[in-house]
Structure 1
Amino acid sequence: MTGAEQETRTESATADREIVISRVIDAPRELVFEAFTEVRHLSRWWGPEGFTTTTKSFEFRVGGVWDFVMHGPDGTDYSEWITWTRIVPPERIELLHGESPDDPNAFESVLTFAPNDAGTRIVMRTVFPTRQLRDEAAEKYHAIEAGQQTLANLAAYVTEGARKGAQG
């Protein structure tokens, strides 16, 4: 079985448990990737519209952890925890995301960064442990809209940085 056949088989096996969001960003791939590597960047754009992020700890390396709180526009705080499971600069980041290290409902995300003309196509593929958890994330927490808003915030942040870099 070729790698592509294996990947297709894996994708079809998880299709009912996943959410896939993509966006083309008008900035170089290295810059888009870098926005994930340092907390000073992440804290400026991470999360959907109206959310802010407070970082407790951050270490961007395989096995490293980002422990943070997202503050919703209604004042609700959401404890979040990410561990980086694979990093291939500047093309791929794999992570496990939950409320804490022992969260049984933690989900896996794979982010890919591909050149797209002068910009970057980012694809965020999230696989939940069960279909029910995927459905709950989509319906109760509006995960698809929130993911689209998060990538829009990323796009605004890096394109502003790219413009400033071109001017500087």
Structure 2
Amino acid sequence: MSENKTSNLTVQVEGRDLIMERVFDAPRDLLFKVYSEPEHLENWWGPQGWQTKNKKFEFKPGGVWHYCMTCMDRNQGEFYGQESWGKGTYQEIIEPEKIVYIDQFSDEEGNVPENMPEMLISLTFVEQGAKTKLIIRTQFASAEELQKVLDMGVVQGFESQIERLDELLKEIQAA
């Protein structure tokens, strides 16, 4: 397992699974809340310099989360102004312990392109006193599909997202 010292994210690949773990300085109920409430997701989802808007958010098994991330940072060059649409379909929700959903790239209408990988994501929230360990297991159809997403920079994007999540958790707890 490798660890990035700046984000304290551990990353491991097991066959066609990508496993990322991180301990957050926040109680489990709060970490679950920022994953399960649309107004919170819009404040931290996506890499630094990107803004997320929810088009649809149904937090229940079978419900759909359809969103768009837009690059708002002029310093990101060719990415500035670019939109990236995503669609999640919730499979299982056990509050405040677990969220399982299928994550896919999509277009503005929610159509999923055939050539992009589908990911089965399981989020497990493990209470550790006043802190919470988040385990994210992402399963792909094949090791090749996993490699495609790794090559797209999914780990670096998630590390950037974690920084935004940390800031939001600090703001909420300070309020």
Is TM-score (shorter-chain normalized) higher than 0.5?
Answer: yes
Question: Could you say which structure has the higher helix fraction?
Answer: 1
Q: Report the equivalent of 1:136.
A: 148
CA shift for structure 1 position 38:
1.2
**For 2:162, which of 128, 151, 157 is the aligned residue?**
151
Once structures 1 and 2 are overlaid, which stretch shifts more, 52-61 or 101-110? 101-110
Q: Report the equivalent of 2:89.
A: 83
Matched, 1:126 2:123: no
How many residue pairs get matched? 150
CA shift for structure 1 position 51:
1.4
Q: Report the equivalent of 1:42.
A: 41
Structure 1: state its 5+ residue gaps.
1-13
The CA distance in 2 between the partners of 1:106 and 1:149, in whole Å, is 22
Q: Report the equivalent of 1:30.
A: 29
Contact kept in structure 2, 1:25 and 1:159, CA below 8 Å: no
The CA distance in 2 between the partners of 1:151 and 1:112, in whole Å, is 16
- TM-score for both structures, normalised by structure 1: 0.83
CA shift for structure 1 position 61:
0.6
Query: Which 4+ residue blocks in structure 1 deviate beyond 6 angstroms?
Result: none
CA shift for structure 1 position 124:
1.1
Instruction: Please provide the CA RMSD for this pair.
Output: 1.6
The structure whose RCO (Cα within 8 Å, separation 6+) is larger is: 1
Contact kept in structure 2, 1:21 and 1:147, CA below 8 Å: no
Once structures 1 and 2 are overlaid, which stretch shifts more, 96-105 or 147-156? 96-105
Structure 2: state its 5+ residue gaps.
1-12, 74-78
- TM-score for both structures, normalised by structure 2: 0.79
Percent identity reads 29
Question: Could you say which structure has the higher strand fraction?
Answer: 2
Q: What amino acid is aligned across from residue 157 of structure 1 in structure 2? A: L
Q: What amino acid is aligned across from residue 36 of structure 1 in structure 2? A: Y
Say if 1:103 and 1:128 are closer, same or farther in 2 by CA, change over 3 A: farther
Once structures 1 and 2 are overlaid, which stretch shifts more, 86-95 or 101-110? 101-110
Contact kept in structure 2, 1:28 and 1:119, CA below 8 Å: yes
CA shift for structure 1 position 102:
4.6
